[in-house]
Amino acid sequence: MTRRRNQRALTSPVLVGALTVLVTVVAVVLAFQANNGLPFVPRYDLHVEVPDAQELTRGAEVHLGGALIGAVTSVDPVRDRAGRPVAELNLALQKSVEPLPVDTTFTVRQKDAIGEKFLAVAPGHATRTWPQGATVPLGHAGASVDLDQVLSMFTPPTRKGVADTTTGFGAALAGRGTGLNAAIHAFVPLVTRLTPVMRNLAAPKTGLAGFFRGLGAFSAAVAPVAIQQADLYRNLDATFETLAPVARPYLQEWISQTPPTFTTAIADSPSIAAFAGDAAGLFRSLRPGFATLPQSAPVLADAFAAGTRNLPGSAALDRRTVSLAHTLQKLSADRTEASGLDRVTLTAHSLISPLSFLTPVQSSCNYVTLFLRNAASALSDPVGTGTALRVVIVAIDDVLGGEGVPAQKPYETPGTQGGTNHAPLHSDPYPNTDSPGQAPECSAGNEPFSAAQAAIGNPAGNVGTHTETTTRSSG
């Protein structure tokens, strides 16, 4: 009786329908949850920061070496450590890939031609790994250029430019088939010799990968100034349009003369090496002068401006100077004149020493001017019967031991005779005049006078270089 009831319940249409609906609902739920991981199945969760999700959506696949290892559960806008807005990809990965090394990179790639994206995982080789639920910072996001990004640069103006360029290439190559065949034939030795070159480029020691990394960094640095670069090419186009009228024959001749010029420069380089070295030394010597140009340039400009104004008026002087130069040239060619110039040169060399000795006599002590002034005063100082030097008797008193009588030693004893004072001898026959080898003083006329003792020669101590100043109006 019980078995019949159970069989009757299993064959009940209501129960069978309810079970069918329940299984269908579970299957649909599992189908929707399949991309995010099946329920009760353990998974490896990671959070990856990328600068741009690039249309990566919830449920996008995560691939490792072409194999599906998980899915993107969500894409959230967040900020990185520097406060910049970035996208955070929440990943649900298979436990079999846990844990990933910390130098693993994550790159958004294009999956098909219609633009569907997936996340490519490239595991690294570090010993440290990302634990369950870790957040991978922005520096581990890879960069790639997909086809849709490449095609997006072909804007209508760009497409028109490409079409015009293709048309121009076609017109340039038209009728040059024979030349192209000859060029291809000439490329055969190039390709043969290119093999060892490419082998060297492919060698690890060459560091070609580093070159391309540097090129990528350079391109990244140039990208912010792309507009300025475009303006540069636009301006170059205007420049080339301006040069087009003179392309033939002037530019054509210049280009044709360039290879022979380079050949001549290469052949003559060894002979001009000394000149190049001297030129380099000259510019090194001129470098301090060049450094002063910012300050001296205005002065030089004013001088040039003044010269421009004054040079036309000096044309007659210039002609006379040229005539004088020609006369001097003829004079220098005469042997008699050359002999005379040699004697003048010898005389000038002989006068160097006495002039160097006598120059301070006037320049420091003013003695020549003082002597001439005093001599003139002696002849012109008036007295009742004429001038002083003409009428005054120059007499020397006859005093025992004085200067007027023979003596074996200088007169040093003061005394009086006939009401006239007689002081000891004061004489400075070779006074210092600030000349080479002498003390820097002008002792003549600056000696101190003492009536108690004689003073012969330069005084003790330095009396300085001060003498009486004369002027044009002095009497």
Helix (H) or strand (E) holding 456: strand 455-456
Shared domain for 127 and 217, answered yes or no, is no
Residue whose pair of structure tokens reads 């003369």 in the numeric block: 257
- Going by the DSSP 8-state scheme, the letter that residue 283 receives in this structure is H
Considering the domain boundaries, does residue 329 fall inside one? no
Shared domain for 38 and 143, answered yes or no, is yes
pLDDT of residue 390: 56
Cα→Cα distances 225→216, 218, 231, Å: 15, 12, 10
Q: What is the largest CA-CA distance in the chain?
A: 191
Considering the domain boundaries, does residue 186 fall inside one? no
Considering the domain boundaries, does residue 421 fall inside one? no
Shared domain for 137 and 50, answered yes or no, is yes
CB 365 within 8 A of CB 465: yes
| Average pLDDT estimate for 410-431 | 67
Shared domain for 215 and 144, answered yes or no, is no
Q: Which residues contact 474 (CB under 8 A, 6 or more apart)?
A: 373
Q: pLDDT band at residue 474, thresholds of 50, 70 and 90?
A: very low
| Average pLDDT estimate for 359-364 | 87
> What is the distance between the alpha carbons of residues 60 and 78, in angstroms, rounded to a whole number?
19
Considering the domain boundaries, does residue 94 fall inside one? yes
pLDDT digits (tens, 9 = 90+) for 69-82: 888 888 888 887 77
Shared domain for 38 and 141, answered yes or no, is yes
Shared domain for 39 and 140, answered yes or no, is yes
Cα→Cα distances 186→57, 70, 97, 191, Å: 54, 55, 55, 9
The domain boundary, picked from 133, 149, 165, lies at: 149
Considering the domain boundaries, does residue 138 fall inside one? yes
pLDDT of residue 475: 45
Q: For all residues of the chain together, what is the average pLDDT? A: 79
Does residue 249 have a cis peptide bond before it, meaning omega lies within 30 degrees of 0? yes
The domain boundary, picked from 194, 226, 256, lies at: 256
15 has pLDDT over 70: no
Shared domain for 46 and 130, answered yes or no, is yes
Domain encompassing residue 108: 34-149
pLDDT of residue 5: 53
Name the burial class of residue 415, with classes exposed (0-12), middle (13-18) and buried (19+) by CB atoms within 10 angstroms of its CB: middle
Shared domain for 126 and 221, answered yes or no, is no
Nearest in space to 44 (alpha carbons), one of 84, 94, 7, 80 = 94
249 has pLDDT over 50: yes
Nearest in space to 75 (alpha carbons), one of 59, 88, 61, 93 = 88
Tokens of 473: 């109006």
> What is the distance between the alpha carbons of residues 340 and 243, in angstroms, rounded to a whole number?
64
3-state secondary structure of 109: strand
Helix (H) or strand (E) holding 70: strand 67-79
Cα→Cα distances 431→12, 363, 365, 470, Å: 153, 16, 11, 20
Tokens of 140: 């581990």
Q: pLDDT band at residue 419, thresholds of 50, 70 and 90?
A: very low
Percent of the chain scoring above 70 in pLDDT: 79
User: How far is residue 162 CA from its own chain's centroid?
Assistant: 40
10 has pLDDT over 80: no
Number of domains making up the chain: 2
pLDDT of residue 211: 85
Secondary-structure percent of the chain, ordered helix, strand, coil, rounded to 5: 55, 15, 30
3-state secondary structure of 131: coil
Residue whose pair of structure tokens reads 């190559």 in the numeric block: 173
Tokens of 450: 């003492």
Name the burial class of residue 102, with classes exposed (0-12), middle (13-18) and buried (19+) by CB atoms within 10 angstroms of its CB: middle
- Going by the DSSP 8-state scheme, the letter that residue 122 receives in this structure is E
Q: pLDDT band at residue 420, thresholds of 50, 70 and 90?
A: very low
pLDDT digits (tens, 9 = 90+) for 207-247: 888 888 888 888 888 888 888 888 888 898 888 888 888 87
Shared domain for 47 and 117, answered yes or no, is yes
Considering the domain boundaries, does residue 96 fall inside one? yes
416 has pLDDT over 60: no
CB 425 within 8 A of CB 412: yes
The domain boundary, picked from 118, 149, 180, lies at: 149
pLDDT of residue 84: 82
Shared domain for 217 and 143, answered yes or no, is no
Q: Which residues contact 98 (CB under 8 A, 6 or more apart)?
A: 44, 132
Nearest in space to 106 (alpha carbons), one of 82, 79, 130 = 130
User: How far is residue 212 CA from its own chain's centroid?
Assistant: 27
Considering the domain boundaries, does residue 29 fall inside one? no
92 C-beta neighbours (distance < 10 Å), count = 19
How many DSSP H helices and E strands does the chain contain?
A: 14, 13
pLDDT of residue 26: 60
99 has pLDDT over 80: yes
- Going by the DSSP 8-state scheme, the letter that residue 473 receives in this structure is T
Q: Pinpoint the alpha helices (H) of 311-334.
A: 315-333
Considering the domain boundaries, does residue 363 fall inside one? no
pTM of the model: 0.31
CB 374 within 8 A of CB 449: no
Shared domain for 140 and 226, answered yes or no, is no
